[in-house]
Amino acid sequence: MNCALLYFSQSGSTLNVAQAIAEGLREGGYRVELFDITKNPPTDVSRFDLIGIGTPVYYYRLPFNISDYLQNLSGLNGKKTFYFLLHGTYPGDAGRELQDILQSRGAKEPSGMCFFGADFFLGYLQQGVLFSPGRPNETDLEQAQEYGRRMAKGETVQTQPGKLGLIYRLEKLFTNRWLVRHLYSQMFHADKKCISCNRCQNKCPTGNITENKKGKPLWGHNCLLCLTCEAVCPTAAITSPVSWPITKPVMALNVRKASADPKLDKEKFVRRTN
């Protein structure tokens, strides 16, 4: 029996969970291949008996590159599938979206499980808070391995999503694909502190950043609004819509609400630049 584990992982958390799930599947007799969807993943999975998809949650939804990849993936018809989500605070509608995509492509109703992962979302880090630090931890990875064993046995597992509050639904609305790709992506800017180190280009998961004639970063439209470019800039030269004064109260509200949730771990965060 063969399993394809397809994943998107920027900080390594989703990959860690994928590897733990793969261990459980192998214990159950599966041959497992892991594929990073940003590095020439398969376009057809018909040769596999079981398909797993792992992704972080962005703005309480799926990242655009995951949904695009799955919408164009061949060989899902009639396949057993499962997914796993990494989130620092709340998973929102991501699981439901992923389930809908898989079933629309002909896959059998998927199993799904959520895991905590350290939340490196820049909007929260700028508020001085890191949610879910150190996650996934050893216990999380043991649960992931057990999840793999259960998938190998053909069991059904479902994480029930919580209700998405009004403020989060509004944030999801205002970070929709059209606005991100046609408005927000064009409002990233690198100021005179930019040293043309190309770190932002190298870390962009969609290859959306090129250079202008002066060797400074230039943003295209294939943006996930992941804010990695701004987060990794060693001189804090990059600004984005999340740095706008109008977004600060929203980020502060989110941080206050999440900080009051006893289910969420958090620690203070201080950003350092060169």
How far apart (Å, rounded) are the C-alpha atoms in residues 129 and 110? 34
Q: State the architecture of 166-268 in CATH terms.
A: 2-Layer Sandwich (3.30)
Q: What are the residue ranges spanned by the domains of the chain? A: 2-152, 166-268
How far apart (Å, rounded) are the C-alpha atoms in residues 212 and 198? 12
pTM, 2 dp: 0.93
Q: State the architecture of 2-152 in CATH terms.
A: 3-Layer(aba) Sandwich (3.40)
Determine the pLDDT at residue 168. Answer: 82
For residue 136, whether the previous peptide bond is cis, meaning omega lies within 30 degrees of 0, is yes
Residues of the chain with pLDDT under 50: none
Q: Which of 246, 244, 245, 200 is nearest to 223 (CA)?
A: 200
